[in-house]
Chains A and B, each alone.
Chain A
Amino acid sequence: MLSRTADNLYWLTRYVERADCLARILDVSQRLAYTPVTYGGSTNEWGSAVLTAGCAESFIARYGPLEEATEENVVFYLAFEAENPSSIRNCFEVARTNARSVRTALTSEMWDVINSAWIELRNFPNRPLDREELANFLAFVKETSLRFDGATFRTMLRNDGYWFARSGAQIERADNTARILDVKYHVLLPEKERVGGPLDYFQWASILRSVSALTAFHWVYRDSVKPWLVADLLILNRQMPRSLAACYDALARNLDDIASGYGRQGPSQRLAQGMLARLTNRSVDDIFQAGLHEFITDFISDNNKLAAAITDQYLT
């Protein structure tokens, strides 16, 4: 297939995934922000939402220091701001532009989801939303990504186009999970001064919620929420579809499918398989001992390297 077509498919799914992740971040931040401080709520929850979304620099340039970030400007910036290239609005905008460029490589069901979402997006006013409007908006975003994934899964031919599309989503998902961990890793660290208490529970639960894994946690561990188990679930547990290991499991397979379709392995296959091996042959204790933060920082950088390798090998 045309390199540009593969590139568009890859970015289309990345942006849909990103929009979904932003919606979750906003959801969780809102919930935490309304939790009384005595129960672990904090005043700078909105600042950390901006950090997690990975657009701190541009946000600060526009609204000032993160400590002073307010619900109103963070929600607007992450959801609607035209000048924020990764706002939900722009994610949908870019996703549709990509979809339109490869209209013929999509099934009509996939196109329909993207195009309808893009049309519906115009019904949301371009101003700060009240709480109910925001809740509706976030539900709409999450539903769109669900529908899109469903349409892709159910209707697309299982050929290189499908695998590039899935690879984009997995790379983005791994990046998002890693960034949530990157911003919140400190609440997972065992600290001497602080004993785990009700305060921490809400922080840990919010991490799980931001990847829709609170219920899953209990099913998997049948235990109360503990920081190392949270880390295990999000990093190493392959049952959890948003864990780094699950993402790489899927990525390695997708890339291998591409390679065997074309009859040629390359750098991106080697990188993905290498990272999967590292995620598989490790326990959460190893990670904590070597340093959780370092591990996550390295992961984000390696994930970017893989993205660059895919681009170089196939998309240009």
Chain B
Amino acid sequence: MSVVIFLLLRLAPGNIVDILFSTGGYVSDADKKLIMQELGLDKPVWAQYVEWIRNMATGDLGKSYRYDVPAWQVIKPLIPVTIELAVLSTIVAVLIGVPTGVISAVRQDTVFDYALRIFSLAGLSMPSFWLGMVIILALAAWLGWVPPMTYVGVREDFKIHAVQFLLPALAVGYRSSALITRITRSAMLEVLREDYVRTAWAKGQSEGAVVWRHALTNALLPVVTVIGIEFAFLIGGLVVTETVFNLPGVARFLVQAILWRDYPIVQTLVMFIAIVVVLSNLFVDLLYGWLDPRVRYSG
């Protein structure tokens, strides 16, 4: 994993020194060499890689070329913003996706079903950053009010903070809900034909109890899997959404770091994202055992 990320970045044409000084006017070749040496960019690629891995093992993630401070120090304050946004988006996605999926399955092949499926497919088709822009525009047009586009901490003003996060979460969550809807629908369609559901009907239980308690709890397993998978897509979606809403998160910073060719930052961020994805998959696996007692991991 680390090799791939590292090599991809070093293959890039252009380097930080050129970019740093392209705004600062002419810099002599001798000065350039000096700076390259200082940053360790004059060494062969494999030597740079070995050094990076060795440093990472000791907890040193390298220095940001641009800010001249340890990469971790730059990234650390950004993480809570992205995590908060990702969690909120997931909640929105589940809140939209699961009910639409269930209703779609219960009312299979009715106009209702078709409308909900088109609704969810439309979410999958709209770029979340565009949806975010449209939400902002709509607020401006109808309410004559736009949330401030500079980040407000949760302690400074809770209301503004909440709006700032809910809007992008809505844009990203709607998109993510599409897959959840689809999986919920197909899982529900299967479960609704099971014997125990018929038993529940025969017992004379209300439709709500049958659908939401007996059927949904049993249809949840594939849904949870897809929520885990969605998490990876979600972070991809955040890259652009954080930019639109000007939120100082990891994803927006990644774009800036890429544009700056700030290798230590990009490497650290991409590794961070990869680790989060792996962890979320692991979490889903563990959740299986809790949701479905039949799943046991001991050999």
Same complex for A and B? Answer no
